[in-house]
A and B are shown apart, each in its own frame.
Chain A
Amino acid sequence: MRRSEIRRQLRIRAKQIVVQRDRRFFVNIEKKDLKRVIRRLMRMKNYTHLSTITALETGSQIEVIYHMAFTDALVSVKVQTSKDEPIVPSIVDLIPGAALYEREIHDLFGVKFEGNPDLSPLLLPDGWPEGVHPLRKWWSPDRILSKLGGRR
């Protein structure tokens, strides 16, 4: 796969396409274009599956990365959402296999996936306090522990 192919397929929707190395592409897009971009990538030749979804903190933002696997590349689509009110459109209607990945991120980062019919806890135990998103940097192990009423 080449950069120009992705560029042509996504037209103006990609803010930036980074070729990190052979077979590795990072595509930065706007949140509102997410579903369109995913749909377009799915239509491309050699698309195989969605490998996973990663979330991470970048300063005041939360970045959600969709790793789309092709037989000849891995295209990672990045969207940003605010940390205070993280909402991203869900893609389960396009890729049913994304359901668990979205639930995992909902648990650990508190990102809401709009349109996902089931965001019940997948990893966190029953009775986990509201608003504690364990993979966010602010929630250090000590903070989580004291919130849960435990001690080291």
Chain B
Amino acid sequence: MTFEIPFGPQHPALEEPINFMFEIEGERVVNVKPRLGYVHRGIEKIAESRNYQQLVYLSERICGICSFAHTLCYSQAVEELLGLEVPERAKFIRTILAEMERIQNHYLWLGLTAKEMGFETLFMYAWRDRETIIEMLDMISGKRVNYGVNTIGGVRRDITESMTERIEKSLDHLEARAEYYTKVCTKDPSILKRTVGVGILRPREARALCAVGPTARASGIARDVRADEPYAAYGEIPFKVVTYRGCDVASRMYVRIDEIKESIKIIRYALKNMPEGPVRVKASLKVPEGEAISRVEAPRGENLHFLKSNGSVKPERWKIRAPTLANLLSLCRMLIGVNLADIPVVIAGIDPCIACAERIALIDVKTRKREVWSGKDLWRYANEWYRKKYGL
């Protein structure tokens, strides 16, 4: 017997309201259809009535977690149109902040995924450690989120020597913690039971569905804009593109934990080799006619901004493609064949943000009886299912 389950638009495992229509047979998901648009804010339309300087602030607000990646991507596009060469020091500061944002995002992700698994201690631990990096971001920019550091032509804040010392100290702490999480996530039996072999995305599928970021890298595809098309200071900093071949939620977890370690190394190197000089150059309000495409590796994957200018102070067209849209089809593929109980953790696998209390409705196709589940119910169901099966 097949059940149809509308999941969302408000649901427990993804930051944005999105709707999935699940078809399930017994415990197994046999088909998924996504539906977006519940938080479509029309940013691309708004952009046509704002000037380039105002759009820096608008781009900051596309996403609350990877705001730096969006401003960086947008600023780079405008700088290309203006023919501006950003000072070297600004490029290094951009790299440092982008990597700090990645660490922040990955710790957040680790915590939320742990929560979806019912492992609340790990959730608390990861979020406590995330606080360390957020404090550093706060120290540099004055804000915990939406840093407002990027601007067209460089950055608005410099990193001083005393800041460097404090950042280095916090990095030591974060590195030790990342090692600890590697140990926990590779050894803890309940984590392994919930993640290994769950939500499979084979490399061939990941390629066909154009997956990006950690989602692709956990399927063994070394796809990373930082390496393929170095921007900011990535061309001058040695780093490794982390890949795993497990194709499951566990691999997605290991990729992100290893990326935290890699980001720490990048920040250390950048702080040590940061050139002296100014951090921004002046940019004119008017932008010459032309087109520019900018790509940035946001914490969740490739971020692409296309900008077309008509020679005035406002853009003709600004197209934004955030990584979540690119990974959505891959997510649907992962969900096919999983257990109902695994839905939260698989959705979490591509990157959730806020797990609010949302609802899920179960409809019996035959009787059209509808049973409405809250996010809490699903979460409880998932954890009880595992407890009964494995005695976890």
What separation, in Å, do the CA atoms of A122 and B293 have in the docked complex? 24
- B211 proximity list for chain A (CB < 8 A): 49, 97
Which of A72, A74, A96, A141 is in CB contact (< 8 Å) with B45?
A141
Q: Give min CB distance, A27 to chain B, whole Å.
A: 13
A20 at the interface (CB under 8 A from B): yes
A72-B228, A122-B37, A134-B42 as given contacts; A96 in contact with B329, CB under 8 Å? yes
Tally of B interface residues using CB under 8 Å? 36
| B61 to A: closest C-beta gap in Å | 18
* Contacting pair B304 A52 (CB below 8 A): yes
Task: For residue B118, give the distance in angstroms from its CB to the closest CB of chain A.
Answer: 31
B173 at interface by CB-CB < 8 Å? no
B136 to chain A minimum Cβ distance, whole angstroms, is 32
Closest to B221 in A: A48
Which of A23, A97, A101, A121 has the most CB atoms of chain B within a 10 A radius of its CB?
Answer: A97
Query: A56 near B: Cβ within 8 Å?
Result: yes
Q: Are A99 and B35 in contact (CB under 8 A)?
A: no
| Bound CA span A65–B321, Å | 13
Question: Which A residues touch B321, using CB under 8 A?
Answer: 51-52, 101
User: How far does the alpha carbon of A131 sit from the alpha carbon of B193 in the complex, in Å?
Assistant: 50
Tell me the minimal C-beta distance from B99 to chain A in angstroms.
22
Do B210 and A49 touch across chains, with their CB atoms under 8 A apart? yes
**0/1 string, A8-41, CB within 8 A of B gives 1:** 0000000000001101101000000000000000
Contact of A54 among B35, B228, B319, B329 (CB under 8 A): B319
How distant is A55 from chain B, measured CB to nearest CB, in Å? 8
CB distance from A109 to the nearest CB of B (A): 11
A interface majority secondary structure: mixed
In contact, A95 and B208 (Cβ under 8 angstroms): yes
The answer to whether the Cβ of A125 comes within 8 Å of any Cβ in the partner chain is: yes
Knowing A51-B295, A95-B208, the reply to whether A122 touches B229 (Cβ < 8 A) is: no
Describe B's contact surface by its main secondary structure: mixed
Residues 24-55 of B, flagged 1 when their CB comes within 8 A of A and 0 if not, give 00000000001111001010110011000000
Are B37 and A125 neighbours in the complex by a CB distance under 8 Å?
yes
Instruction: Flag if B229 contacts A74 (CB, 8 Å).
Output: yes
B217 interfacial contact with A, CB 8 Å: no
Judged by a CB distance under 8 angstroms, whether B84 is at the interface is no
B8 to chain A, nearest CB (A): 14
**Is B380 interfacial (CB 8 A cutoff)?**
no
Complex CA gap A125/B17 in Å reads 13
A53–B209 CA distance with the chains assembled, in angstroms: 14
Q: Which residues of A contact B34 (CB under 8 A)?
A: 100
- CB contact between A121 and one of B37, B208, B326 (< 8 Å): that residue: B37
Interface string of B73-109 (1 = CB under 8 A from A): 0000000100000000000000000000000000000
Residues on A with beta carbons closer than 8 Å to the beta carbon of B42: 134
User: Which chain B residues (225-244) contact chain A, with CB distance < 8 Å?
Assistant: 228-229
Interface residues in B280-339 by Cβ distance below 8 A to A read 291-293, 295, 302, 304, 306, 308, 316-317, 319, 321, 325-326, 328-329
List the A side residues contacting B45 at CB < 8 Å. 134-135, 141
Q: Which of B40, B208, B302, B308 contacts A51 (CB 8 A)?
A: B302
* B212 on interface, CB distance cutoff 8 Å: yes
Q: B304 to A95, Cβ gap below 8 A?
A: no
Interface membership of chain A positions 55-74, coded 1 if the CB is closer than 8 angstroms to chain B and 0 otherwise: 01100000001010101101
Could you name 15 residue pairs across A and B whose Cβ atoms are closer than 8 Å? A21-B80, A48-B228, A49-B223, A51-B304, A51-B326, A56-B308, A67-B293, A69-B302, A74-B229, A97-B208, A97-B329, A100-B34, A108-B44, A123-B37, A135-B45
Ranked 9 nearest A-B pairs via Cβ: A97-B210, A123-B37, A52-B321, A49-B210, A56-B317, A97-B209, A54-B319, A71-B228, A54-B306
